[in-house]
């Protein structure tokens, strides 16, 4: 996954693979989603921990999927909602054929306001690129 943004006032571009993501602080939660039957467990890196680990700063995030689906959102909104860059589903690494390798997901069951099209549309799977603006 390609990640770009400002780090210490300088434009930075890095490529992160699964092993690099696994070295970041890990979080796990279970939730229902519109795309899975029943409760599903997701684990990965909280967006706030991801930004701290990559030392990228900004106010907006642009997320681009392999199929060019694109979402732009305020970082503060995503953090507040508990956005997780999931790399595993039910303990297994997610293949591209099942929303992997990285899926931005929210703990939809934790708060009713997350069960809304605003957050469903921000749940991006098969993430290819993240731009911190």
Task: Over range 12-18, report the average pLDDT.
Answer: 94
pLDDT, position 19 = 95
- Within 8 A by CB and 6+ apart from 9, the residues are none
In the structure, what pLDDT confidence band is assigned to residue 9 with cuts at 50, 70 and 90? confident
pLDDT at 8 over 90: no
- Give the residue ranges of DSSP H helices in the chain: 18-22, 47-54, 75-80, 117-122
pLDDT at 36 over 90: yes
Task: Over range 39-46, report the average pLDDT.
Answer: 98
Query: 110 by DSSP, 3-state: which?
Result: helix
- Within 8 A by CB and 6+ apart from 68, the residues are none
pLDDT, position 7 = 87
Task: Over range 83-111, report the average pLDDT.
Answer: 96
Q: Give this prediction's pTM.
A: 0.95
Task: Report the alpha-carbon distance of residue 69 to residue 127 in Å, rounded.
Answer: 9
Task: Report the alpha-carbon distance of residue 66 to residue 13 in Å, rounded.
Answer: 18
């Amino acid at each position: 996954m390609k990640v770009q943004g400002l780090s210490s006032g300088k434009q930075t571009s890095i490529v992160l693979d699964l092993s690099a993501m696994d070295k970041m602080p890990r979080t796990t939660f279970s939730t229902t989603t519109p795309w899975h039957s029943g409760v599903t467990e997701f684990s990965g890196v909280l967006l706030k921990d991801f930004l701290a680990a990559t030392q990228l700063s900004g106010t907006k995030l642009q997320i681009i999927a392999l199929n060019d689906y694109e979402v732009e959102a305020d970082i503060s909104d995503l953090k507040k909602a508990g956005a997780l860059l999931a790399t595993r589903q039910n303990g297994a690494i997610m293949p591209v054929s099942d929303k992997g390798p990285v899926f931005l997901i929210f703990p939809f069951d934790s708060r009713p306001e997350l069960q809304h099209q605003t957050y469903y549309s921000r749940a991006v799977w098969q993430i290819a690129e993240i731009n911190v603006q």
